[in-house]
Copies of this chain bind each other. A is one copy, B any other.
């Protein structure tokens, strides 16, 4: 068997978020592996109630721990680095990252009791990290967080460029401007595959620079009469700077509210990438300042229930209260699925008399991802033999391939679990890996298919009815069945108590049941369950989840 070069997405290819990609080189099954990004995605009430965090399923990697030579983090967004603390011990390989990303990764690792030495801080191209059969370099690129990078991955079978999340921005306020010459240089000798960000493939206008929104925000801050609150992702350091400088121009001092906000500014300052950020004042000091001289920079742009923005909207946060005449700016885009939470906050602010400015008009926010024309620019520069869209839902990946095809590129839709063999002239699916999602539930990792969350969803939809019955030493019922309900209407048809009606139906069955049935644990439980469900359905029009507990005295 000959060596081969493989690409295997375990997360991020079929969704936005939870990025985790594997590259390998070697004999089939014996490849040396590197991992690019270990991100998370976030739960929601629809599909993952009560879950704390959603992680990629790395079972495949864990079985191949000894084959892993390194973990490369492209940038410090949660959907690229968020799983590092939870998974590092299961993978055990050295982690590489640029300074700001390394700072964030180390904070996460230290929460799991792991030392700084796990992470190696890297410099950018032309520095080369030798890692098994791979030679990897970090290619600086602009995105909505500092020190983002694409990766140049050289293998004996050719060069792969992994774009990471990126945008084409020549004036990004903080961080690396778009450097076309760099990407031309690394592409000039031929690129086997471009593995490329797809999130904004449906956005048809060219992307706009971070620098284009500063003036509009400054004008807004000047014109506002009361206090101004601004929210955006805390990790968007450039935006924090844009907002803070606009505040300063408008005669406002900046207050940072929310743990993530303070932590990110701290990290950016520690690694020396945040210069020119105006001095901040404490919430206590802000209380004594005229409202028109204050701007609060707060977490919670996505309507998160416990973030600073939600608390301000509900009344107060650290003593700060909003009121009629204040202005609240969402310098952010609402991620699909978060609309309800954001709208809830907007209405609470409206009740307080606060004017809300959102980004409906595109004046106060620009995306951190490359739009379709910008993606085409990168395709054009790299001219890859194969285009592999990554980081996107199925529809994004498919559209990205179509866009590539239209310009003559060969592309392949590779979703999570599809191992692609890149060795030949055209990409081939080598294998389908069983993959999925892992949930962090409290402090425990559970599988998405374990049925635990499914049971919770069923209780949420149907309520929970509990039947208890005691059977004595002679296999005779001791007393009547007892019913308790949780999340179920207490009275149904005819205004009789539901538990009474169900208990009556169960008693009737139990009193008529023969000794054989009463002895048969499985059958007895099944019968009680069926009767309880049927009885409840007749009363209240829905079938609850039922747990039957038969206690046998012996």
Residues of A within 8 A of B (CB): 14, 44-46, 49-50, 202, 336-337, 339-340, 343, 346-347, 349-351, 353, 356, 360, 393-395, 398, 441-444, 446, 452-453, 455-457, 459-464, 466, 468, 470, 478-479, 482, 484, 486-493, 537, 540-542, 545, 547, 549, 551, 553
Do A466 and B549 touch across chains, with their CB atoms under 8 A apart? yes
B463 touches A460 (CB 8 A): no
A461 / chain B contacts, CB cutoff of 8 Å: 49-50, 456
Residues of chain B lying within 8 A (CB to CB) of residue A441: 489, 540-542
Q: In the bound complex, what is the Cα–Cα distance between A545 and B484 (angstroms)?
A: 14
Could you write out 18 A-B pairs with CB less than 8 Å apart?
A45-B49, A350-B398, A442-B537, A443-B493, A444-B489, A444-B491, A446-B489, A453-B487, A455-B463, A456-B461, A456-B487, A457-B460, A459-B459, A459-B487, A468-B549, A468-B551, A470-B470, A486-B545
Contacts of A463 in B (CB 8 A): 50, 452, 455-456
CB distance from A36 to the nearest CB of B (A): 23
State whether B340 touches A542 (Cβ < 8 A).
no
> Is B488 within 8 A of A452, CB to CB?
yes
Do A340 and B46 touch (CB < 8 A)? yes
Name the residue in A46, A346, A441, A460 with the highest tally of chain B Cβ atoms < 10 Å from its Cβ: A460
Report Cα–Cα, A394/B349, bound state, in Å.
9
* Contact, CB under 8 Å: B395 / A350: yes
Residues of B within 8 A of A459 (CB): 456, 459-460, 464, 486-487
> Within the complex, which residue of B340, B351, B442, B466 is in contact with A547, where a contact is CB–CB below 8 Å?
B466
Asked whether B339 lies within 8 Å of A343 as measured between CB atoms, the reply is: no
A415 — nearest CB in chain B belongs to which residue? Answer: B351
Contacts of A202 in B (CB 8 A): 360
Residues of B within 8 Å of A453, CB to CB, are 487
In the complex, A395→B350 CA distance in Å?
5
Closest 8 CB pairs of A and B: A443-B541, A442-B541, A442-B542, A460-B460, A456-B487, A49-B460, A350-B395, A50-B461
Kindly provide the distance from the CB of A449 to the nearest chain B CB, expressed in whole angstroms.
14
Task: Looking at the assembled complex, report how far the CB atom of A132 sits from the nearest CB atom of chain B, in whole angstroms.
Answer: 33
Q: A456-B463, A460-B457, A466-B466 are in contact. Are A442 and B489 (CB under 8 A)?
A: yes
Q: Which residues of B contact A484 (CB under 8 A)?
A: 547, 549
Residues of chain B lying within 8 A (CB to CB) of residue A553: 470, 478-479
A554 to chain B, nearest CB (A): 9
- Docked pose: A353 CA to B487 CA in angstroms: 42
Q: Is the CB of B347 within 8 A of A393?
A: yes
Shortest beta-carbon distance, A164 to chain B, in Å? 23
* A170 CB to nearest chain B CB (Å): 27
- Across-interface contacts of A398 in B (CB, < 8 A): 350, 353
A50 touches B460 (CB 8 A): yes
Report the minimum CB–CB distance from A259 to chain B (whole Å). Answer: 19
A50-B463, A202-B360, A336-B340 known; A395+B549 contact, CB < 8 A: no
Tell me which residues across on chain B come within 8 A of A452, comparing CB atoms: 463, 487-490
- Considering the complex, give the chain B residue whose CB is closest to the CB of A545: B486
Nearest CB in chain B to that of A349: its residue: B395
